Amino acid sequence: METNDVIPEVEFEQRYAWQIGGWLILVAIGLIGRPLIYLYTIITYISDIIENDYLKIMYEQARNNSSFDLALFILWETLVNIGFFGVSIFLLYAFFTRRKYFPIVFTILLVASLVIPILDVVLANAIFGLEQEYSTKDTGRTVIAIMIWVPYMFVSERAKRTFVF
């Protein structure tokens, strides 16, 4: 390469990409734990369905052509948990391979982690009239995480120079 050749910006970014370090280590720790938490949640949820005979109740509702509210709610809950698990596995890959799209997908997961539990409580109240416990502590924790990590992912030099592939 001659001295007056210019390296294209993308190639330059990738050649001199920063390694995962700094505050991103905290993100890595959280990302490693997330799939385990979601897997535990899925297993616990399915065992609750089995222990409480919800499958039998759903079968009876289907047989009697009555409401499918319980079945739809359980399906919703199961799909959401499986979705969170899948996205968390995908995020591990995106993080450790330092993909450009990581900050966007990470932000989507954080926002979904705030919105979906609220939607879950609203649906349970609307469908069943149940006063489901709602954790303001968990919501507060998620809001704080969003306030810290979303700007960090899009503003910090570390994130900009790490996620370049």
* 76 within some domain: yes
C-alpha to C-alpha distance for 151 and 144, rounded to whole angstroms: 11
* 8 within some domain: no
Q: CB of 89 within 8 A of CB of 35? A: yes
pLDDT value for 46: 92
Q: CB of 162 within 8 A of CB of 18? A: yes
* Across 141-146, average pLDDT: 97
How many angstroms separate the Cα of 154 from the Cα of each of 33, 70, 110, 150, 163? Answer: 23, 41, 14, 7, 10
* 80 within some domain: yes
C-alpha to C-alpha distance for 131 and 136, rounded to whole angstroms: 14
* 70 within some domain: yes
pTM above 0.85, yes or no: no
Instruction: Quote the percentage of the chain above a pLDDT of 70.
Output: 90
Alpha-helical segments (H) within 52-135: 54-63, 69-96, 102-128
User: How does DSSP assign 114-127, residue by residue?
Assistant: HHHHHHHHHHHHHH
* 12 within some domain: no
* 132 within some domain: yes
* 6 within some domain: no
pLDDT value for 113: 96
pLDDT value for 72: 85
- What total number of domains does the chain contain? 1
pLDDT value for 7: 60
* 11 within some domain: no
- C-alpha dihedral, 157 to 158 to 160 to 161, nearest 10°: 110
pLDDT tens string 68-105 = 788 888 889 999 999 999 999 999 999 999 999 999 99
Q: CB of 136 within 8 A of CB of 114? A: no
Nearest to 62 by CA among 50, 128, 54, 77: 54
pLDDT tens string 8-18 = 666 767 778 89
Which residues span the domain enclosing 155? Answer: 20-162
pLDDT value for 5: 61
pLDDT at 148 > cutoff 70: yes
